[in-house]
Amino acid sequence: MNPRILPRRAGLLALGTAALVGFTTVAGPPAPATADSDEFRPQLVTVDTPTREDKRLLQTLGLDLTEHAGHDYVEVVLHSPADVTSLLTAGLGYDVRIPDLLLREAENNRANAAYAAATTTSPLPSGRDAYRTLADYDADMAALERDHPELVTTFTLPHRSLDGREIRGVEIGRDVHGPDRGLPTFLMLGVHHAREWPSGEHAMEFAVDLAKNYGKDPRITDLVDRARVVVVPVVNVDGFELSRTDGGLVDLRSLDDGGTASLLATPGNAYKRKNCRLVDGQDTPDGTCRAGSATSPGGFGTGVDLNRNYGGYWGGPGASDLFADPTYRGATAFSEPETQNIRELISSRHVTTLITNHTFSNLVLRPNGAAPDLVPPSEGVPLGDPFDEAALKALGDAMAAQNGYTSQHAWELYDTTGSTEDWSYNATGGFGYTFEIGPDEFHPPFPQVIDEYLGAGEYAGKGNREAYLLALENAVDPATHSVLTGKAPAGATLRLRKTFATPTWEGAIQDTLDTAMTVGPDGRFTWHVNPSTRPVVKDRQVETVSSDPVAQQTYTGTTLPLQSTDSEFTVARDADLLEIVLDWPTPDDMDLEVYRKNADGSLEQVGSSGNFVGEKERVLLQDPAQGTYVLRAINFASVTPTWTLTASLFEAESSTVPGLVENWTLTCEVAGQVRETAPVVVDRGQRLRVDLRACGRR
C-alpha cells in the first residue's frame, strides 16, 4: 500500500542455505553510459539538482523519478539511451550509482533459485518454495477444486480486466455447490497493487490451509462449516502479470548504518503499482497493456490506483487527481473493472468480515482512512471515529498480537480515501481491515513470505495464519453482525435489498445491496446478515477542540539531510488530544515520528507522519496517556534543514451528530413471484424473528 517508505533500520534475513545479495551504493562508479552506447542496461543514477529550478526541469522530462532525493540531487532510473539523451540535452549532470539493474535482479533471482533448489517442500500449507505466477494462481485454484470437490468451487468475476483477462477466485464451505442457506461470508483479497506479491501468496495459502485441514483440524472444520470463505488472491491481474513477469525479487535500497531505506525504481514493470488503464477514462484493445506501459518506463505513470478507486469518500485526501501520480484515483468512483468486481461481490453477499492484503510495514489497519477531524464537503461535519471503533480496535489488536504488527487506524499511517475497507465497512457494516505484510520490502525473498504467514521467532506458530483465523471467527460470531430467523415455504427465495447514496468527498454515488438465500427443506431459515443501518449514517461522535491549548511547547532546530533530532514533551495532565506539527520553510521533505518513553527508558512508537514532498507533517493522538513523549524530526530530503516543531495539548468537547435508522426491504419469492414484502430493522448483535406466514399463502 505504501507509495513511499519512511526511514527505518534495514536488516538482513538469514536464509540458511541461500544467502541474499545485499544492495549497496556502487563505490567508484563507472563512467555513465551515453546515448551512443552500443548496449544499454537500465541503471540507477543520481541527477545533480542544486536549485529548485533544476528539480522542476527534471520533472518535465518524463523520466522515472524515484522518491529518493536530497537537497541537491534526485535519483532516477534510466531505462534507455533516450533517457540519457533527455538528461544531456537538458544540461543536467549525473553520476551512476548502480550501473546494471538487470544484473542486480539476476543476482537476487539466483539467490531465490538457490533456496528453491535446497527446499523440497516448504512449511507453507501448499509446500511452495517460490512466488506464484498468474498462471500458477489459476492452476492452484483449479487444483484445489479438483482435490476437494465437495468443499471448494472456483468462480470467475463478471468483469474482465482492461487487458482482457479473467479474474478468478475460490469459495470454500460445506455444501459449497448447494444453494445459499444464509451463512456469513468471510472475504480475503490480495494484489490490489501489482508489485505486492506476498499479498496474493498469503490469501492463496489461507485457502489451501482451510481446504487441506478441513476434517482434520476441529477448529478449522467448525469455522468452515459455519461460513462461506471467498478468496480472490489477485485482484489486479494485469498489473501483477507485468510485475511478476518482469521482476525478480528486487528492492533497490540504500542499506547503510544510518538505517535509511529508500524506495527506488526497477527495470521493467517489477514495481508497477497501478492497473493497466492506459488512457484515462477510456478502454483500450485487449492485450495492449505491455505496449502501452512502455510509454511510461516501468509502467509507473500509467494506470489507476485501485485502492483509491472505491466509493467511500472517493476523491478526498491521499488520492491524486493526476493520472501520472502513483495514487491516481481514477476518473470516477468504481471506474475500474477490478473494483467493480469487488463492489458487486460484496454487494451481493453479507460479508461480515473482510481482509485486504498489501505490503509492507507490518501493520493491521482499520477504518477510517482519513483523520477524524477532517470535514468532507459532501457532509459538512467531521468524519469522527467509526461507529464500531471499540469492536474494530479490539479485533485489530487481537490479530496484531499474533503477528507482531502494529494495530492502528489507517489514517495514522497517512490519510487515504477511496480504499477497499472504508467503502465496504461504511456501506455494509461488515468489519474490514488492511494487512501490510512484512517490514521493509514490496516482494521480499520468499522465506520471508513463509515466516510472515506461519510466524517466526516469538510469533512462531502464529503469524498471519492465526490472525486470519481470528478474523474468520469474527465473521461467524453472531454478536458481530445480525441474524434473521423464521419460517417460510421450503425452497422460497428470501431477498434483502437496499439502495442508498454513498458519500464521496465532494458528492455521492448510488449503491445497491441485493442479497438472497434459499429456505431449506424444513421451511425454517437462519440468515446471518449485516445490520440494516450503515455505519456511515449512524450517530457520529465528534470532538470539537478548544480554541486554545491547555499546554503547548515549540521547538526549533537544524537537522542535516538523512539525520534526525529528538525533542521531549511531557503530558502532565489528562487531555483529549495531543497534536504535533512539524513545519519547515521549503517545499521539500521532512518526516515526523512520535514515541512514548516507557519506565525503563525504552521508546514505543505511537504515531508517525510521512507525507509527500511539500506536505507538512502532523500527528494527532487521542486521549494521550500521561508521561514523556519523544518527538523525532527527520530530514528526509529538505533543502533548508531548519524546522519548527509544535506540541499542543487540547481539551475537546464530545458531541453527537444525530444519525439515521435504516431498514432492509425483505421479500419472499416463490416460483419467481414476490408473495410478501416487509421492512426489517436489525442492529449489530441482534437476533430478529421475522414473520413470513403470508408468503406461504397463495
Q: Any idea which residues carry the catalytic annotation?
A: 436
**DSSP string across 264-311:** ---STTTT--S----BTTB---TT-HHHHHTTSGGGTTSS--GGG-SS
| DSSP SS3 for 199 | helix
Q: Cα 503 to chain center, whole Å? A: 21
CA geometry: angle 11, 14, 15, nearest 5 deg: 135
Name the grid cell of 457.
521467532
Instruction: Of 140, 132, 233, 236, give the one whose Cα is nearest residue 446.
Output: 132
Residues 171, 337 contacting (CB under 8 angstroms): no
CA distances from 93 to 126, 297, 410 (A): 50, 20, 40
Helix (H, G, I), strand (E, B) or coil at 317: coil
Number of neighbouring beta carbons within 10 Å of residue 389:
17
Return the closest-CA partner of residue 375 out of 366, 388, 384, 363: 384
Task: Say how far apart CA 417 and CA 320 lie, in whole Å.
Answer: 10
Query: 354-374 as b/e, with b when 16 or more CB fall inside 10 Å?
Result: bbbbbbbbbbbbbbbbbbbbb
- Do the beta carbons of residue 281 and residue 303 sit within 8 Å? no
Cβ pair 518, 181 in contact under 8 A: yes
Which whole-number Å values give the CA distances from 78 to 44, 45, 52, 91, in the listed order?
6, 7, 21, 16
Nearest Cα neighbor of 654 from 560, 576, 592, 588 is 576
Paired strand residues for 95: 46
3-state secondary structure of 157: coil
CA distance 373 to 106: 48
Q: Which residues of 522-533 are buried (b: 16+ CB within 10 A; e: fewer)?
A: eeebebbbbbbb
CB count in 10 Å sphere of residue 141: 24
Q: How many CA atoms are closer than 13 Å to the CA of 383, on its beta-carbon side?
A: 27
Phi and psi at residue 372, to the nearest 5°: -65, -20
Prior bond to 569 cis, omega within 30?
Answer: no
User: How many Å from the N-terminal Cα to the C-terminal Cα in the chain?
Assistant: 55
Q: What residues pair up with 667 in beta bridges, in sequence order?
A: 495, 677
Among 475, 528, 466, 435, residue whose Cα is nearest residue 217: 466
**Closest by Cα among 33, 28, 35, 57 to 43:** 33
- Alpha-carbon distance of 299 to 278, in angstroms, equals 10
